[in-house]
Amino acid sequence: MERAYRYRFYPTDAQAAELSRTFGCVRKVYNMTLAARSEAWARQERLHYNATSAMLTAWKKTEELAYLGEVSSVPLQQALRHLQTAFTNFFSKRAKYPRFKSRKKSRKSAEYTTSAFRYRDGRLTLAKMNEPLAIVWSRPLPEGAEPSTVTVSQDSAGRWFVSLLCADPDITPLPATDAAVGIDVGLDHLLTLSTGEKITNPRHERRDRVRLAKAQRALARKATGDGANRVKARRRVARIHARISDRRRDHLHKPSTRLVCENQTLVIEDLTVRNMVRNRSLARAISDAAWAELRSMLEYKAAWYGREVIVVDRFFPSSKLCSACGSLQTQMPLNVRSWTCDCGAVHDRDVNAAKNLLVAGLAVSVCGAGVRPQRSTPGGQSAVKQKPSQREP
């Protein structure tokens, strides 16, 4: 099983300049190739990776784009492969049509394969560089690990990261168990389990809301453009956002790992977070809870350790259904946190929902009905036959 290990590093001025040029060239090649493929598709022509690779070679020979040859060629070729994957996902209906990369908003990154870096004795040196990167090894790589891919990135807060993809022999299926748990997500409590346990919601964004608002007001007062003062103010806002997201991610990792290790089957609800954040009263709190990120963690960790994640249909009335007698309530407003059924059972709203999710998940795992299809993996294949107008260019 391959696993990515992400570390922070501090480049020298020369390394930072080289990486910044590489980021710009990667973005340029990606955008030019996307434009070429879109124009070719409008002419009823097809361009695949081999054709775009030949186009990249021709671009480097022109006077206008000769600077593309000054950086490592591997990240540029990887950009073409990423675009090919984006089109494949689009025509398989797993993603939207690829979009152009923005200099200010898009993620700055470059991917190096084994031919473009050297890793020896814990020292990583990239192509076109004479010195190894000053990496902060916050945790060791697996013993004897040899990275197959290295991805260098810079976030909006100005921090530099390097991600090393290598085989991890420690990721093996855990011993099977009969334990199963239903998981209901919420805002008052981040997670409520069918066992009655409730995991608190730290509300990381609320804790830094005053600092964030102050930094955003200072940014709004700066003149628009790329002035030094505006760049500094924008960087302050980005650092606060990075602090919030780092703490949120750390908090989500802990319960997700524990739940996957302790239970063979995990049942969650399929929530349309994209539609839920349209509620202006709850949008900030829902975004801060990061339910989609939590689901992603549960799914990939379950795949690592041989567990099963069952996703129950979003229209299943888990909160309105009595987990004792099975009767269905007609209404259940959000402000009702506990209620009493006609059978005399007193329910905590969230615990009752988690219990119902567990029962529904175990039922569909046996009969195979009543559950939405699992999200396709990037490498999966669609079983839907494409129409002639939907085929890949």
- Whole-number pLDDT of residue 168: 87
Residues belonging to the chain = 393
Do 160 and 204 belong to one domain?
no
Domain that holds residue 323: 180-367
Query: Model-level pTM?
Result: 0.83
Structural domain contains residue 380: no
Do 272 and 318 belong to one domain?
yes
Residue bearing the bigger pLDDT, 369 or 126: 126
- Tell me the pairing of strands 308-312 and 338-340: unpaired
Structural domain contains residue 382: no
- Whole-number pLDDT of residue 366: 65
Do 72 and 150 belong to one domain?
yes
- Whole-number pLDDT of residue 389: 38
Separation CA 123–CA 127 (nearest Å): 13
- Provide the CATH number for the domain around residue 252: 3.30.420
Structural domain contains residue 392: no
Separation CA 223–CA 300 (nearest Å): 44
Structural domain contains residue 259: yes
Do 134 and 191 belong to one domain?
no
- Whole-number pLDDT of residue 239: 96
Q: Is the Cβ–Cβ distance between 15 and 182 less than 8 Å?
A: no
> Does the pLDDT at position 236 exceed 80?
yes
Separation CA 74–CA 114 (nearest Å): 9
Do 81 and 221 belong to one domain?
no
User: What's the total number of domains in the chain?
Assistant: 2
> Does the pLDDT at position 377 exceed 70?
no
pLDDT cut 70: percent of the chain above it: 93
Do 136 and 97 belong to one domain?
yes
Domain boundary among 134, 167, 200: 167
Residue 269 annotated as catalytic: yes
Structural domain contains residue 373: no
Do 189 and 285 belong to one domain?
yes
Of 236-245, 256-265, 277-286, 335-344, the range with the lowest mean pLDDT is 335-344
Do 162 and 220 belong to one domain?
no
Structural domain contains residue 173: no
Domain boundary among 167, 188, 214: 167
Structural domain contains residue 156: yes
Residue bearing the bigger pLDDT, 104 or 55: 55
Structural domain contains residue 226: yes
- Spacing of C-alpha 378 from chain mean position: 12
Do 192 and 328 belong to one domain?
yes
Do 10 and 153 belong to one domain?
yes
Catalytic entry in 111, 205, 299, 350 = 350
Per-chain mean pLDDT for the chain: 89
Domain boundary among 167, 193, 209: 167
Separation CA 216–CA 237 (nearest Å): 6
β-strand partners of 371: 312
> C-alpha angle 303/309/313, rounded to 5°?
145
Residue bearing the bigger pLDDT, 144 or 76: 76
Do 110 and 223 belong to one domain?
no
Separation CA 44–CA 67 (nearest Å): 32
Catalytic entry in 18, 111, 269, 288 = 269
Catalytic entry in 18, 184, 205, 299 = 184
Do 99 and 140 belong to one domain?
yes
- Whole-number pLDDT of residue 242: 95
Beta strands in 57-169 (DSSP E): 108-113, 117-120, 123-126, 135-136, 149-154, 160-167
